[in-house]
Structure 1
């Protein structure tokens, strides 16, 4: 009976700890913002940008940056791929 109680309590603790992990990660990772023509951009430092693929179509891109207040942002926008030829 004691072993069953210990097993139940340990699984409850593991579940509680598993619930806390995504919350901590969600607080560290900013929400992805969609770019529109009316989006005000306050970019002080670019952290990373995704690579433009060699395809001839519109592709989604992401840019992670810090604004002038030091807050981190992730911006999603679209660009034309590098795979189109002009001839």
Structure 2
């Protein structure tokens, strides 16, 4: 088999996986965390945060599966990862 065709097939497969993941997150139930929100988390799929070059509070998003296997998205606030090591 031609190596170029093999590389193209691998790239195509990787792009399809990324597209399916983005579609699943777009169709997931979204909620914003508030104090006392009941969290039903079986497995965390991803955690991302808004870009911010400085230390401070930023928006973050956690995509997870609940106990029924349904994809959920939780928006919340957190201290930026840029703060690690700052006093």
Task: Place the TM-score, normalised by the shorter chain, in its bin.
Answer: 0.5 to 0.7
Asked if 1 retains the 8 angstrom alpha-carbon contact of 2:44 and 2:63, the reply is yes
Per the normalisation by structure 1, the TM-score is: 0.59
The corresponding residue for 1:58 is 57
Ranges in structure 2 where 5+ consecutive residues have no aligned partner: 1-22
TM superposition score normalised by structure 2: 0.59
Give the CA RMSD over aligned residues.
Answer: 2.4
| Structure whose CA Rg is larger | 1
Whole-angstrom distance in 2 between the partners of 1:83 and 1:63: 18
Determine helix, strand or coil for the equivalent of 2:77.
strand
Report how far residue 82 of structure 1 moved: 2.8
Correspondence list, 1:1-87, <5 A: 29-51=27-49, 54-84=53-83, 85-86=86-87
Can you give the 5+ residue segments of structure 1 that lack an aligned partner in the other structure?
1-24
